[in-house]
Amino acid sequence: MWRKTHFNAHAEPDFADALADTGRRQIVLCGAEAHICVLQTGLALLEAGYRVAWLTEAASSRRPAEASLARQRMEKAGAQAVSADMVAYEWLERCDDARFKDIHRRFLKERASRPLRFD
């Protein structure tokens, strides 16, 4: 957990250092105020050489037009729009993964009856 005062989380030294220490280069972003914090963090991560994906159903703004503009700008800068299903199945890779049934039951199957939308 980090204290964040910058809109761009990557501008926080503790966060940037902890992220670099993971060795991971692919980041999945989500959050409130897509046009402020999510956008600025995503653009900074792209500039720093990370591959950025934004979780479409988990990044919103109070005004849908601002969320839409943020998404357009992020995509133009090189970020990819992804859904929770896309991320989960890419990370699992196989249906015989021991975690598959539990994740599918708890998160993916349940969401199908009440999809989240912020646009």
Sheet holding 51-60, edge to edge: 26-32, 51-60, 80-82
Structural domain contains residue 2: no
Is position 1 within any domain? no
pLDDT value for 118:
46
User: What does the pLDDT average to over 78-85?
Assistant: 93
Tens digits of residue pLDDT in 44-57: 999 999 999 999 88
3 in any annotated domain: no
Q: Is residue 48 part of a domain?
A: yes
Model pTM score: 0.82
Question: Is residue 95 included in any domain, yes or no?
Answer: yes
What does the pLDDT look like over 60-70, one tens digit per residue?
899 999 999 99
**Number of domains the chain contains:** 1
Burial class of residue 118 in the structure, from the number of CB atoms within 10 Å of its CB (0-12 exposed, 13-18 middle, 19+ buried): middle
Please give the residue range of the domain that contains residue 104: 9-112
CATH of the domain at 78: 3.40.50.850
Nearest to 73, CA basis, from 47, 35, 117: 35
117 in any annotated domain: no
Q: Looking at the predicted structure, is the pLDDT value of residue 116 above 70? A: no
Q: Is 12 helix (H, G, I), strand (E, B) or coil?
A: coil
Neighbours of 41 (CB within 10 A): 25
